[in-house]
Amino acid sequence: MIRRVIYISIFVLFLSSPMPSLAQTLDKQSALKQALLNNPSYKAALLEIEAAAGERSQASLLPNPSTVFEIENIGGSGQREGF
Q: What does the alpha-carbon distance between residue 13 and residue 19 come to, in Å, rounded to a whole number?
A: 12
Compute the CA torsion angle 32, 35, 40, 41 (nearest 10 deg).
Answer: -30
pLDDT attached to residue 48? 95
pTM, whole model, 2 decimals?
0.41
Percent of the chain with pLDDT over 90: 20
- For CA atoms 41, 43, 46, 47, the dihedral sign is negative
Q: Once rounded to an integer, what is the mean pLDDT over residues 12-41? A: 74
Q: What is the pLDDT of residues 57-83, one digit of tens each?
A: 999 999 888 898 877 666 666 676 655
